[in-house]
Structure 1
Amino acid sequence: MRLRLAALPLLALAATAPAQTIVAPVAPISEQTLKDVTKELSSDAYEGRAPGTAGEEKTVAYLAKRFAAAGLKPGNKGSWYQDVPLVELTAKNVSPLVFTGAGAPLSLKYGPDMVVGTWRITPRVEVKDSPVVFVGYGINAPEKGWNDYAGVDVRGKTVLILVNDPDWRTPDLVGPFGGRAMTYYGRWTYKYEEAARQGAAAAIIVHQTEPAAYGWNVVQSSWTGAQQVADAADNHAGDSAAIGWMQEAQARKLFEREGLDFDALTAAAGRKGFRARPLNGARASVSFDENVRRHQSRNVIGILPGTTRPNDYVLYSAHWDHLGHCEAAPDGDDICNGAIDNATGTAALVALAEANVKAGPTPRSQVFVAVTGEESGLLGSEYYAANPVYPLSQTVGGVNMDALSLAGPAKNVVVVGKGKSELDAYLTAALKTQNRVASAEPTPEKGFYYRSDHFSLAKRGVPMIYFDAGDDLVAGGKAAGAAAAKDYEEHRYHGPKDEYDPNWNWAGTVKDVQLYYGIGRALAESSAWPNWVAGDEFRAIRDKSRATAAAK
């Protein structure tokens, strides 16, 4: 995956925007629907909406009922559902992760010191006396002339990897990997994928809060308990046996014990030409059993058929799933309710369906997809994109909604991937109706572009726009916006306290959903085919798919 572009100047964007004048329609969005759906889906009765549980059954049935009540039609050949074959893996009897070598063994406890799991579908995992190699950022990018695995054979070995990109500390967006902006090479999913390609028996990421963009509490709650993987005929036999994370403090102890300078090696890993470093005589061992359960999860799909161009499709997406039962809070609460993440986005799907049905059908069809498995690695959107109900070459573009803000109205919105596609012009038109502006991400190092469901479609060429609520609040400005984001990340994100609050201020949320309405409706009423900007990583894929569609 090539690195994403830095945000383009507005003038450059205007030069590539569709030639027609864009008018973003305005329609009322039901605040009551947003409240009702969010409250319902995040109640304890849904047990945190984990795929493959009773909570899923309640969730997908409820969404199908709400889609039908809104006036949509079943979106998959007469069915509301698209089956998504998943496997639930639950680790048990997890041993400590033990490093032997110089000095006394270093034993890391499961949970507070490390987390470990697997993508392999197997009842037992055991890594024993595996030589340990520090591979820096674990990147192999031929187009960059960068290979952290050059000159080292890690087959059967345990690799220790740094999170994010080598240039994440850069204050601007200039650097071999986009500077401050994370690329896909910086995502933990890529790290494990590359380690597997290199033949590593185990791949352990060293957690550091700033480049990871979240604290250890998020890692611990997300990685303990049942995990979901896509089903596969080969049971993912090509993946590393064990994957996981370890606390930075434990990594420092390990390096020090082996006579190595963690800070010096980390600094060296950020420079081109870095060579992987075996940790002298250190060897790693870990083992665990897995409960394996295959099941069919489901995406929920509704459609508002188009009138004159029904075979052109505009897509609205949000993920309905969350973590289910998770690491308990001090008060014993062990349900990760996922009220903001992402009952709010799912509620927005229902509200948008209602608003569009009331406004009447558009020339193009509008498709509403609530996907499963986002928290497990975008599994539901990936399955839809690989097995599209509606051809991707005929999908005009779309919007994705994930974790809407309840911090109150903002003067702006923060566009994740600003300047990548001509959909920015549609957002600009919608923002004009509210006298608001679009801002680039203030924290591009967090890699949000690769962390939500739009990415599954974008990497296959479909223009998708995804934005967060503004960080410049009407009441309190950017300081208030930063404080609200910090409070959510530290106290609620991926934890049991992401719960519905009857005192939430929905005024800003309603405005944000109105923007999604304006973008989607304008696309559905238009005859234009917006594209990625020239030179973008996804432009060639889109050009090829559209050329193929035009030739039919």
Structure 2
Amino acid sequence: MNRSFLIVVSIALLLGSCNPQKTVFEEVDGLAAFSADSLGKHIAELSDDDFEGRKPFTEGETKTIQYLKEKFIAAGLEPGNGESYFQEVPMVNITTHAAPAMQVQSAKGNFTLKGPDDYVIWTDKTDTAVSLDNDELVFAGYGVVAPEYNWNDYEGLDVKGKVVMVLVNDPGFNAGDTSLFKGKTMTYYGRWTYKFEEAARQGAKGCLVVHNTEAASYPFTVVQNNWNTSRLRLDPRGKVEKICDVIGWISGPAAQKLLTAAGKDTALLASADIRDFKGAALNLKLSTSIQVKTNYNQSNNVIGKITGSKYPDETIIYTAHWDHLGIGTPDETGDSVYNGALDNASATAGLLELARGFKSLPTKPERTIVFLSVTAEEQGLWGSAYYAQNPIYPANKTVANINMDGLNWYGKTKDVIIVGQGQSELENYLRQEAAKVNRVITPEVHPEAGYYYRSDHFNFAKAGIPALYVGSGIDVIGKESGYGKKMDEEYTEKHYHRPSDEYDTATWKLDGAIDDLQLLFRVGRRLAYGQNWPQWKTGSEFKTIREKGE
């Protein structure tokens, strides 16, 4: 080879190495596609009465998934499941009719509790009827078996065929002890869903969770909305499951009445916060019944994608659930449509804005971007659970999940909240992207609510996929300190899971939602180019799952 040619090539390579590689995208790329007007129109449409509260298995589902398919196509998304925009989710709709009262036998005399004033019960079983028939009641503390915390509320306690009464949240919450679990920050052991699962594993016939507004993060009225309504779960046929016959909630005053009849007081409840707590039979017997009707059908996740230009088998998945509660118990105004404007028409509409943002990028994403709107979140995160169990894109090739569940409706904020802070390196990405636009990360206002375990990203986390979930900030620009917290708490108290969760153009300010969407877009855009894989942080309960799967 000619020596002069080699010299020229060497100089060229040297010069090239001195210059940084050109960034594949500019900081402003894709941001102009986001529109508060567009977002508001989608929220208004999805939460309109015509969509009947978007409950699966209803005409509301049919309208919702068709709407999303049309908007995915209009945004330029490809079908996300082969040639289809849908992933069928086989489910069963369980409609229960509980007897209006529960009989209690005690040594001090018999009495009745009234549903739904004192308790709310249902069943996940598909039998035609289930019942409690003079079944013993046992207090099992928090109903937790957590070896990593050296905690077992069921140790030495016989609950087979009995009804367990347990407290909501974790021992550290009521005790205010940071050495117990995660203190005020709820773990998955604090969730009522876990308590039902563990009670079934222990062989209990029933499980009643004692309600406490602060510990549960919502009032008993939210629980009462479930009285004699239908509930969905994944089709159990062909599966071996351990589930209780009767599950539900009991109000604080009703629990106190049971304790009094058992010759106990609140000291028994307080004793559950102590590490050497021992559960005890209450010498009470419960009787009631539930009639059951079942309907097997298919619901649908809606899924679209932008295929990556260089690494099409590596995916970044954005999620939001499209469903809400449908038509149910009328409120004080007579309104029976649970529109779910914030929860979760807002984030479903946000998916459409994100899709437009990614499609507008001058350079196509190198990794595949998936937009997944899942079903039946309100019934137990079932749509995302089915996807996690039957992934269209393998978990070990899924770079990250970014989930949304309720967007900011009260204006621009200086901050954004990471839910479940300390889980994954995605939080570092978010913090760095926020700094670029002069925003900051703040801690959760209510870590005791366990929000990290209450939305669809949780099922991705359980599959080992790093999952990011953010909440609306509370430091509202131009407002007094505490305004954002006040608005958030007002929504929870007055509108969460109520017919009044409606879109109001006069009071909703979506510029803050656009800021948050653009921030989540920036995180995904950063992941979309290159080969970085965010990891779980040390101390996350999901870290070993990812490591074992790789």
Q: Deviations over 1:496-521 (max 9, x none)?
A: 10011112111111111111111111
User: 1:387 and 2:400 equivalent?
Assistant: no
Q: Are the equivalent residues in 2 in contact too, given 1:345–1:404 (CA < 8 A)?
A: yes
| C-alpha deviation, 1:463, in angstroms | 0.8
User: 1:510 and 2:514 equivalent?
Assistant: yes
1:451-470 equivalences under 5 Å are: 451-470=454-473
Structure 2 equivalent of residue 238 of structure 1: 242
- Which one of 399, 406, 409 corresponds to residue 406 of structure 1? 409
Higher RCO (CA 8 Å, separation ≥ 6 residues)? 1
| C-alpha deviation, 1:236, in angstroms | 6.5
- Which one of 233, 236, 244 corresponds to residue 229 of structure 1? 233
Q: Deviations over 1:32-67 (max 9, x none)?
A: 221111111101111111111110011001000000
Structure 1 equivalent of residue 441 of structure 2: 438
1:312-461 equivalences under 5 Å are: 312-360=314-362, 361-461=364-464
1:256-275 equivalences under 5 Å are: 256-261=260-265, 263-275=266-278
Q: Are the equivalent residues in 1 in contact too, given 2:97–2:228 (CA < 8 A)?
A: no
Cα gap change, 1:93 to 1:425, in 2 (>3 Å): closer
Structure 1 equivalent of residue 113 of structure 2: 108
Q: Are the equivalent residues in 2 in contact too, given 1:22–1:522 (CA < 8 A)?
A: no
Distance (whole Å) between structure 2 residues aligned to residue 418 and residue 526 of structure 1? 25
Secondary structure at 1:168's aligned position in 2?
A: helix
Q: Are the equivalent residues in 1 in contact too, given 2:426–2:468 (CA < 8 A)?
A: yes
User: 1:64 and 2:69 equivalent?
Assistant: yes
Distance (whole Å) between structure 2 residues aligned to residue 364 and residue 191 of structure 1? 39
Secondary structure at 1:531's aligned position in 2?
A: coil
Q: Deviations over 1:470-517 (max 9, x none)?
A: 011113244111210111011100001001111211111111111111
Distance (whole Å) between structure 2 residues aligned to residue 103 and residue 402 of structure 1? 48
Structure 1 equivalent of residue 152 of structure 2: 147
Distance (whole Å) between structure 1 residues aligned to residue 424 and residue 505 of structure 2? 37
Q: Deviations over 1:245-282 (max 9, x none)?
A: 01110110111122111x201111001111111112x1
Query: What stretches of structure 2 of length at least 5 have no aligned partner?
Result: 1-22
Distance (whole Å) between structure 1 residues aligned to residue 27 and residue 327 of structure 2? 41
| C-alpha deviation, 1:142, in angstroms | 2.2
Structure 2 equivalent of residue 179 of structure 1: 183
Distance (whole Å) between structure 1 residues aligned to residue 145 and residue 412 of structure 2? 43
Cα RMSD after superposing both structures:
1.7
- Which one of 479, 482, 487 corresponds to residue 476 of structure 1? 479
Distance (whole Å) between structure 2 residues aligned to residue 321 and residue 476 of structure 1? 33
| C-alpha deviation, 1:235, in angstroms | 6.8
| C-alpha deviation, 1:189, in angstroms | 0.4
| C-alpha deviation, 1:24, in angstroms | 6.3
Secondary structure at 1:347's aligned position in 2?
A: helix
Distance (whole Å) between structure 2 residues aligned to residue 135 and residue 290 of structure 1? 28
Q: Are the equivalent residues in 2 in contact too, given 1:323–1:375 (CA < 8 A)?
A: yes
Q: How many residues align?
A: 524
- Which one of 80, 86, 89 corresponds to residue 85 of structure 2? 80
Query: What stretches of structure 1 of length at least 5 have no aligned partner?
Result: 1-19, 547-552
Distance (whole Å) between structure 2 residues aligned to residue 155 and residue 419 of structure 1? 38
Distance (whole Å) between structure 2 residues aligned to residue 22 and residue 414 of structure 1? 26
Cα gap change, 1:220 to 1:440, in 2 (>3 Å): same
User: 1:300 and 2:305 equivalent?
Assistant: no
Q: Are the equivalent residues in 2 in contact too, given 1:303–1:365 (CA < 8 A)?
A: yes
| C-alpha deviation, 1:102, in angstroms | 2.7
Distance (whole Å) between structure 1 residues aligned to residue 388 and residue 405 of structure 2? 18
Distance (whole Å) between structure 2 residues aligned to residue 124 and residue 190 of structure 1? 24
| C-alpha deviation, 1:234, in angstroms | 5.0
Q: Deviations over 1:200-251 (max 9, x none)?
A: 1110011011111110011111454111111112577521000000111011
Q: Which amino acid aligns with 1:331?
A: T
Structure 2 equivalent of residue 541 of structure 1: 545
Higher deviation after alignment, 22-31 or 355-364: 22-31
Higher deviation after alignment, 395-404 or 530-539: 530-539
Report percent identity of matched pairs: 43
| C-alpha deviation, 1:171, in angstroms | 4.9
Distance (whole Å) between structure 2 residues aligned to residue 110 and residue 61 of structure 1? 38
Structure 1 equivalent of residue 14 of structure 2: none
Distance (whole Å) between structure 2 residues aligned to residue 515 and residue 143 of structure 1? 35
Structure 2 equivalent of residue 250 of structure 1: 254
Cα gap change, 1:290 to 1:356, in 2 (>3 Å): same
Q: Are the equivalent residues in 2 in contact too, given 1:207–1:246 (CA < 8 A)?
A: yes
| C-alpha deviation, 1:326, in angstroms | 2.1
Q: Are the equivalent residues in 2 in contact too, given 1:23–1:429 (CA < 8 A)?
A: no
Structure 2 equivalent of residue 499 of structure 1: 502
Q: Which amino acid aligns with 1:33?
A: S
Distance (whole Å) between structure 2 residues aligned to residue 237 and residue 417 of structure 1? 30
| C-alpha deviation, 1:415, in angstroms | 0.4
Q: Please tell me whether Structure 1 or Structure 2 has the larger radius of gyration of its CA atoms.
A: 2
After superposing on structure 2, the runs of 4+ consecutive aligned residues of structure 1 that deviate more than 6 Å are 20-24
User: 1:165 and 2:170 equivalent?
Assistant: yes
- Which one of 204, 226, 232 corresponds to residue 208 of structure 2? 204
Q: Which amino acid aligns with 1:527?
A: Q
TM-score scaled by length of structure 1: 0.92
Distance (whole Å) between structure 2 residues aligned to residue 103 and residue 171 of structure 1? 35
User: 1:125 and 2:138 equivalent?
Assistant: no
| C-alpha deviation, 1:23, in angstroms | 8.6
Higher deviation after alignment, 193-202 or 102-111: 102-111
Distance (whole Å) between structure 2 residues aligned to residue 140 and residue 106 of structure 1? 33
Distance (whole Å) between structure 2 residues aligned to residue 524 and residue 78 of structure 1? 23
Distance (whole Å) between structure 2 residues aligned to residue 25 and residue 396 of structure 1? 23
Q: Which amino acid aligns with 1:432?
A: A
Q: Which amino acid aligns with 2:91?
A: L
